[in-house]
């Protein structure tokens, strides 16, 4: 029972009216941006970071977390009704969700998605409740070499799993690490890359970088009108799925919860990958896979369950190891640092109110979302009528004015605009901003632990191999780093073989 | 018992009946073209140059030895990684499969950025209200294609709402005229 005491105290934290209000605010904002195509949860969280300055750390994270998992609910609505995925994690929901809508069962699809999301989210939270303290206890023995290895592995995984070119993602990550060195060196006090600029002496703040790269960068990118105008959606009635539908999708919801939970923990994993994996798994398991794409209820239930489970479980590495598993978690990490809380294994013991407050707020948030996404779905559908042309300047102004309020300085606003342009250009040239932001957040931790390890080992890094945990982390690192290269080489050899096999045929034809 | 009255309008266009694979292929076809080889070369070159500059400045800071690292050692390693990866990317990505080509719509972004820079420049002098109003008008009318009526209506409402939130309610020190 002793274990449960802080858990129960956590409910006391959540039920504080301020925290409840911020939880509601977070999930409503999350639903809204989930419904609206364009801004994703990462961009929204980045834009709203200044809002967290004035409140308690636990309140801030409760709200930001609400935005994140709320967006997973909201993204479904446009996928089902309009065939426009509101979020990347709802893309596969389109395949069957829209077909169901066409058959007049939009309500069923949305209802199943909401119920699946709720179950997936709840399974995620229960897993988080029991697994997180264990992982944190394990990590208490970590020393500088383990942290350095873990941070390196986290950055590498996020970079290699992101879409597009791996080497470009790695360049972005390395640039993030380089950017993190700007300012005074903690070990020697020497100023690095400040070029005599006083504003840079304390280093570049995380908030303007994130607001620029994720927030403003995305707003500018969306200015190129890449979203097809949304048709006025039809009315949605009766979102309560029938018993037969529930029975049919119960297996998919169960499997989606477990799969999503585990994929969410992995660095680089998260909501998007788990939704795709869950859809693929259901299709493979099905006795008649041809139903998928024709309006199979499981095709909506599985991905929507999995993305919520993953959104929840991706908090585990952040809250227990202090290593963000994806770009959105990097923003949470930054938000906690601003508040003077360093996420890590000590968090559960030192700030149990914060840890359990945030975890337990997710139970409340999921119930709020279930209420909003079943009876109130019509209200959110109406939001779609708000035009992008009117929203864009509003979000841009929120970003700039919000940036000013952090330190009451125009320099921060200038930084946001600068990084906004950089973020836009990175996207245009195929560099993901995610790895850069993640690396930037982890940069100081990585460098400090690496240098401490060097001191411990007296400059001889081979000492790392004498420590089992850091050794195994580095082995995983090596495998992840070399796997794409090996795969390319293998593929090339295979195609070379194939070309040789084809060549004689060709010459024959020519002759 | 389980009747829903929410049928989406009857499917008129042929895209309505696509399988997931066809739909995914269609989305891929509608996506803007990749940035191309020149863009890859240019962006990799910029990254390489940034890395090279990093190397120069890190060496100036002093590298030290592994046992006694100086402030420049870690930035030096990172800059070196950037240079190596940047040069590799020039070769790997020479066909230019990633990113997006700039199109005529990209001018909109340039105008957008210009208004942002204008806002940043004017805000300390004349407060945020007038620059914000102008930004809204440009974004709604010229970048978004709204009608004059809705542009003026919504721009005024937006600025008024921001004034109410940031100045009246939150009492922030954002430079303001009124």
pLDDT of residue B134 exceeding 90, the answer is: yes
Which residue in chain A is spatially nearest to B66 when comparing CA positions?
Answer: A459
Is the domain of B88 the same as that of B131?
no
Is residue A196 within 8 Å of A187, Cβ to Cβ? Answer: no
Determine the pLDDT at residue A227. Answer: 52
Task: Give per-residue pLDDT as tens, A389-412.
Answer: 888 999 999 999 999 988 888 999
Task: Give per-residue pLDDT as tens, A18-33.
Answer: 999 999 999 999 998 8
Cβ–Cβ below 8 Å for B143 and A424: no
- Let me know if residue B6 belongs to a domain: no
Question: Rg (Cα) of chain A, in Å, rounded?
Answer: 24
Cβ–Cβ below 8 Å for A429 and B40: yes
- Let me know if residue B86 belongs to a domain: yes
Q: Using CB atoms, which residue from B61, B116, B132 is nearest to A192?
A: B61
Q: How confident is the model at residue A306 (pLDDT cuts 50, 70, 90)?
A: very high
Q: Give the sign of the dihedral formed by CA A335, CA A338, CA A342, CA A347.
A: negative
Task: Give per-residue pLDDT as tens, A497-511.
Answer: 555 444 443 333 333
Is the domain of B121 the same as that of B162?
yes
Query: Mind telling me how many Å the CA of A375 is from chain B's nearest CA?
Result: 15
Task: Establish if B132 touches chain A: CB-CB under 8 angstroms.
Answer: yes
Is residue A155 within 8 Å of A438, Cβ to Cβ? Answer: yes
Which residue in chain B is spatially nearest to A458 when comparing CA positions?
Answer: B67
Question: Region A182-190: what's the mean pLDDT?
Answer: 85
B/e letters for A392-429, b = 16+ CB within 10 Å, e = fewer, are bbbbbbbbbbbbbbbeeeebbbbbbbbbbbbbbbbbbb
Instruction: List chain B residues with CB under 8 Å of A226.
Output: 32
Is the domain of B113 the same as that of B162?
yes
- Let me know if residue B22 belongs to a domain: no
Task: Establish if B48 touches chain A: CB-CB under 8 angstroms.
Answer: no
The residue that leads in pLDDT, A45 or B28, is A45
Task: Establish if B45 touches chain A: CB-CB under 8 angstroms.
Answer: no
Range(s) of the domain holding residue B134: 106-169
Is the domain of B117 the same as that of B159?
yes
Task: Establish if B147 touches chain A: CB-CB under 8 angstroms.
Answer: no
Is the domain of B112 the same as that of B164?
yes
Cβ–Cβ below 8 Å for B144 and A392: yes
Q: How confident is the model at residue A465 (pLDDT cuts 50, 70, 90)?
A: confident
Which residue in chain A is spatially nearest to B31 when comparing CA positions?
Answer: A226
Instruction: List chain B residues with CB under 8 Å of A221.
Output: 109
Question: Region A132-144: what's the mean pLDDT?
Answer: 86
Determine the pLDDT at residue B1. Answer: 36
Place of tokens 């990209």: B106
Highest mean pLDDT among A11-15, A105-109, A179-183, A228-232: A179-183
Determine the pLDDT at residue B32. Answer: 80
Reduced 3-state DSSP string for A37-72:
CCCCHHHHHHHCHHHHCCCCHHHHHHHHHHHHHHHH
Q: How confident is the model at residue B17 (pLDDT cuts 50, 70, 90)?
A: low
Question: How far is the C-alpha of A48 from the C-alpha of A41, rounded, in Å?
Answer: 10
Q: Determine the distance from the C-alpha atom of residue A425 to the mean position of all C-alpha atoms in its chain, rounded to a whole number.
A: 22
- Let me know if residue B4 belongs to a domain: no
Question: Region B115-124: what's the mean pLDDT?
Answer: 95
pLDDT of residue A417 exceeding 70, the answer is: yes
Instruction: List chain A residues with CB under 8 Å of B77.
Output: none
Task: Give per-residue pLDDT as tens, A58-116.
Answer: 999 999 999 998 888 888 888 888 787 777 788 888 888 888 888 888 888 888 998 99
pLDDT of residue A143 exceeding 80, the answer is: yes
Question: Region A310-333: what's the mean pLDDT?
Answer: 88
Q: Using CB atoms, which residue from A105, A165, A390 is nearest to B140?
A: A390
Q: How confident is the model at residue B26 (pLDDT cuts 50, 70, 90)?
A: confident
Task: Establish if B11 touches chain A: CB-CB under 8 angstroms.
Answer: yes
Average pLDDT, chain A: 85
Q: Which of A73, A76, A71, A103 is nearest to A91 (CA)?
A: A76
Question: Region A426-432: what's the mean pLDDT?
Answer: 90
Task: Please state, for a pLDDT cut of 90, what percent of chain A lies above it.
Answer: 29
Question: Region A121-127: what's the mean pLDDT?
Answer: 91
Cβ–Cβ below 8 Å for A188 and B71: yes
Q: Using CB atoms, which residue from B82, B119, B144 is nearest to A171?
A: B82
Query: Mind telling me how many Å the CA of A397 is from chain B's nearest CA?
Result: 7
Determine the pLDDT at residue A233. Answer: 57
Instruction: List chain A residues with CB under 8 Å of B155.
Output: 393
Query: Mind telling me how many Å the CA of B50 is from chain A's nearest CA?
Result: 9
Question: How far is the C-alpha of A132 from the C-alpha of B129, rounded, in Å?
Answer: 48
What single string gives the DSSP state of each residue in B65-98? -SSSB-TTHHHHHHHHHHHHHHHHHHHHTTT--S
Which of A29-43, A132-146, A225-239, A254-268 shows the lowest per-residue confidence on average (mean pLDDT)? A225-239
Is the domain of B84 the same as that of B114?
no
Cβ–Cβ below 8 Å for B35 and A401: no
The residue that leads in pLDDT, B34 or A176, is A176
Question: How far is the C-alpha of A175 from the C-alpha of B85, rounded, in Å?
Answer: 11
- Let me know if residue B162 belongs to a domain: yes
Highest mean pLDDT among A396-400, A451-455, B65-69: A396-400
Cβ–Cβ below 8 Å for A397 and B158: yes
Segments making up each domain of chain A, as ranges: 7-227+235-466
Is the domain of B111 the same as that of B151?
yes
Determine the pLDDT at residue A481. Answer: 74
Q: How confident is the model at residue B5 (pLDDT cuts 50, 70, 90)?
A: very low
pLDDT of residue B48 exceeding 90, the answer is: yes
Question: Region A403-423: what's the mean pLDDT?
Answer: 93
Question: Region A121-135: what's the mean pLDDT?
Answer: 90
pLDDT of residue B21 exceeding 90, the answer is: no
Cβ–Cβ below 8 Å for A293 and B79: no
Determine the pLDDT at residue A152. Answer: 87
Q: How many C-beta neighbours within 10 Å does residue A247 have?
A: 11
Instruction: List chain A residues with CB under 8 Å of B8.
Output: 81, 101-102, 106, 233-234
The residue that leads in pLDDT, A374 or A428, is A428
Cβ–Cβ below 8 Å for B123 and A397: no
Question: How far is the C-alpha of A463 from the C-alpha of A26, rounded, in Å?
Answer: 46
Task: Please state, for a pLDDT cut of 70, what percent of chain A lies above it.
Answer: 92
Determine the pLDDT at residue B123. Answer: 93
Q: How confident is the model at residue B6 (pLDDT cuts 50, 70, 90)?
A: very low
Determine the pLDDT at residue A159. Answer: 81
Question: Region A292-297: what's the mean pLDDT?
Answer: 87
Task: Establish if B109 touches chain A: CB-CB under 8 angstroms.
Answer: yes
Domain count of the fold of chain B: 2
pLDDT of residue B2 exceeding 70, the answer is: no
């Amino acid at each position: 029972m002793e274990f449960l005491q802080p858990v129960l105290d956590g409910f006391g934290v959540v039920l504080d009216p301020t925290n409840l209000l911020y939880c509601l605010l977070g999930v409503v904002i999350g639903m809204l941006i989930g419904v609206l195509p364009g801004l994703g949860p990462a961009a929204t969280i980045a834009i709203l970071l200044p809002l967290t300055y004035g409140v308690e750390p636990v309140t801030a994270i409760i709200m930001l977390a609400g935005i994140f998992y709320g967006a997973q609910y909201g993204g479904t609505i446009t996928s089902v009704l309009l065939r426009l995925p509101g979020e990347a994690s709802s893309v596969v929901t389109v395949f069957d969700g829209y077909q169901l809508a066409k058959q007049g069962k939009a309500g069923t699809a949305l209802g199943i998605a909401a119920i699946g999301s709720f179950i997936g989210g709840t399974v995620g939270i229960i897993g988080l409740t029991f697994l997180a303290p264990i992982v944190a206890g394990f990590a208490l023995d970590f020393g500088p070499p383990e942290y350095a290895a873990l941070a390196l592995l986290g950055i590498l995984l996020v970079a290699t799993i992101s879409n597009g070119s791996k080497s470009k993602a790695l360049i972005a990550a390395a640039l993030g690490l380089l950017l993190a060195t700007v300012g005074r060196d903690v070990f020697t006090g020497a100023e690095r890359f400040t070029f005599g600029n006083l504003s840079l002496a304390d280093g570049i703040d995380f908030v303007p970088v994130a607001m620029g790269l994720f927030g403003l960068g995305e707003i500018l990118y969306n200015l190129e009108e890449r979203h097809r105008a949304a048709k006025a959606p039809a009315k949605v009635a009766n979102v309560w799925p029938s018993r037969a539908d529930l029975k049919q999708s119960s297996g998919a919801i169960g499997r989606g919860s477990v799969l999503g939970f585990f994929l969410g923990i992995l660095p680089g994993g998260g909501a998007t990958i788990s939704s795709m994996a869950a859809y693929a798994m259901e299709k493979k398991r099905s006795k008649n896979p041809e139903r998928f794409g024709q309006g199979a209820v499981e095709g909506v239930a599985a991905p929507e369950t999995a993305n919520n489970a993953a959104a929840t479980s991706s908090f585990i590495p952040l809250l227990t190891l202090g290593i963000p598993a994806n770009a959105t978690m990097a923003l949470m990490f930054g938000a906690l640092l601003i508040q003077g809380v360093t996420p890590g294994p000590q968090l559960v013991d030192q700030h149990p109110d914060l840890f359990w407050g945030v975890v337990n707020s997710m139970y409340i948030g999921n119930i709020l979302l279930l209420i909003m996404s079943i009876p109130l779905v019509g209200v959110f559908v109406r939001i779609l009528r708000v035009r992008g042309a009117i929203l864009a300047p509003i979000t841009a102004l929120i970003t700039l004015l919000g940036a000013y309020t952090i330190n009451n300085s125009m320099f921060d606003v200038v930084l946001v605009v600068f990084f906004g342009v950089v973020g836009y250009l990175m996207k245009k040239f195929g560099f993901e901003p995610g790895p850069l932001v993640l690396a930037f957040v982890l940069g100081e931790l990585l460098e400090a632990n690496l240098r401490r390890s060097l001191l411990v080992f007296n400059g001889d890094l081979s000492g790392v191999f004498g420590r089992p945990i850091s050794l195994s982390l580095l082995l995983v690192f090596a495998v992840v780093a070399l796997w794409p290269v090996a795969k390319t080489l293998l593929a090339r050899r295979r195609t070379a073989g194939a070309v040789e096999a084809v060549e004689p045929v060709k010459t024959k034809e020519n002759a | 018992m389980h009747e829903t009255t929410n049928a989406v309008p009857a499917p008129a266009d042929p895209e309505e009946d696509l399988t997931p694979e066809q739909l995914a292929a269609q989305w891929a076809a509608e996506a803007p073209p990749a940035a191309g080889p020149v863009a890859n070369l240019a962006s990799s070159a910029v990254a390489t140059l940034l890395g090279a500059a990093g190397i120069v400045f890190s060496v100036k800071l002093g590298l030290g030895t592994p046992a006694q690292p100086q402030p420049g050692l870690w930035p030096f390693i990172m800059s070196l990684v950037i240079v190596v990866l940047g040069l590799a990317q020039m070769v790997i990505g020479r066909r230019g499969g990633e990113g997006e080509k700039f199109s005529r719509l990209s001018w909109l972004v340039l105008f957008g950025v210009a208004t942002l820079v204008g806002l940043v420049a004017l805000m300390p002098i004349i407060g945020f209200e007038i620059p914000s109003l102008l930004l809204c008008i440009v974004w709604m009318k010229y970048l978004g294609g709204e009608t004059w009526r809705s542009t003026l209506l919504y721009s005024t409402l937006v600025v008024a709402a921001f004034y109410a939130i940031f100045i009246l309610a939150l009492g922030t020190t954002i430079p303001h005229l009124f």
